[in-house]
Structure 1
Amino acid sequence: MNRRVLSATLTVPLAPEAAFRLFTARGERTWVPGWEPVFPVDTPDDTAPGTVWLTSSHTQETTWLVTSRDFPRSVSYARITPGVQAGTVTVALAATETGSEVMVTYDMTPLTPTAAKALDEFAADYPSFIHSWAQLIATHLA
């Protein structure tokens, strides 16, 4: 089993101050089909370090925790799916002449051999995965 550190970039036609929101728990609701984070404790700021939310897909529940935020440059999340995988997701934004370059880094460790195989498959498709984000965001902003 191997830890995977995966990075890819996309561009967003918004300044980092506006683009940042797209990569938050509540902000992703606007462009990610089926993204429905649940906050066990109500919070007015879903980017405040220490904020927790849950997501569910298929038969898995994932717990997310904001580990750091440097608005509008970056935000990092711990992401734990019990018995499957654990790691972090970091989104870093940099201003460009036409908006923002956004680097998304998943640093994940599988917790079982089956999860390791799934993570290897995710890694092989990671550039396409991030490209799909760019397409979904473009459609949302159109």
Structure 2
Amino acid sequence: MNRRVLSAALSVPLPPEAAFRLFTARGERDWVPGWEPVFPVEPPDDTAPGTVWLTSSPEEDTTWLVASRDFPRSVSYARITPGVRAGTVTVTLAATDTGSEVTVTYDMTPLTAAAAAALEEFAAGYPSFIRSWEELIAAHLA
């Protein structure tokens, strides 16, 4: 089993101050099909460090925690799927002439051999996964 650090960039036609929201628990509702975070305690600001939310799919339940935030440059989340994987997701934003370059880094450790195999599959498709984010965001903004 190996820890995997995966990083890829996408372009968003908004300045970092506006694009930042797209990469938050509430903001992803706007463009990620089926994204429905549940907050055990409803926060006034879903990017405040320490904020917790949960996501569920038929395959797994995941607990998320805002680890750090430097608006509008970066936000980092701890992401734990019990018995499957644990790690962080970090989003960094940099201004460009046409909006923002957004780098998304997943740093994941599998917790079982089956999770390691699934993580390897995820890693193989990671560039396409992040390209799909760019396409979904562009469609949302159109």
Shared fold per TM-score greater than 0.5:
yes
% same residue: 83
What number of residue pairs does the alignment pair up?
142
Structure-to-structure mapping, 1:44-55, within 5 angstroms:
44-55=44-55
- Partners of 2:57 and 2:84 in 1: how far apart? 13
Find the counterpart in structure 1 of residue 138 from structure 2. Answer: 138
Structure-to-structure mapping, 1:69-88, within 5 angstroms:
69-88=69-88
Under a length normalisation based on structure 1, what TM-score does the superposition of the two structures give?
A: 0.99
What amino acid sits opposite 2:64 in the alignment? W
Q: Which runs of 4+ in 1 moved over 6 A?
A: none
Find the counterpart in structure 2 of residue 106 from structure 1. Answer: 106
Find the counterpart in structure 1 of residue 36 from structure 2. Answer: 36
- Partners of 1:56 and 1:113 in 2: how far apart? 22
- Partners of 2:120 and 2:126 in 1: how far apart? 10
Post-superposition Cα deviations, 1:77-119, rounded to whole Å, max 9, x if no partner, equal 0000000000000000000000000000000000000000000
Once the two structures are TM-superposed, the CA of residue 65 in structure 1 deviates from its matched residue by: 0.1
Once the two structures are TM-superposed, the CA of residue 11 in structure 1 deviates from its matched residue by: 0.2
Long gaps (5+) in structure 2: none
What amino acid sits opposite 1:15 in the alignment? P
Once the two structures are TM-superposed, the CA of residue 58 in structure 1 deviates from its matched residue by: 1.6
**CA RMSD across the alignment:** 0.4
Once the two structures are TM-superposed, the CA of residue 59 in structure 1 deviates from its matched residue by: 2.9
Long gaps (5+) in structure 1: none
SS in 1 for 2:115: helix
Find the counterpart in structure 1 of residue 65 from structure 2. Answer: 65
Post-superposition Cα deviations, 1:10-30, rounded to whole Å, max 9, x if no partner, equal 000000000000000000000
Find the counterpart in structure 1 of residue 116 from structure 2. Answer: 116
- Partners of 1:109 and 1:59 in 2: how far apart? 18
SS in 2 for 1:127: helix
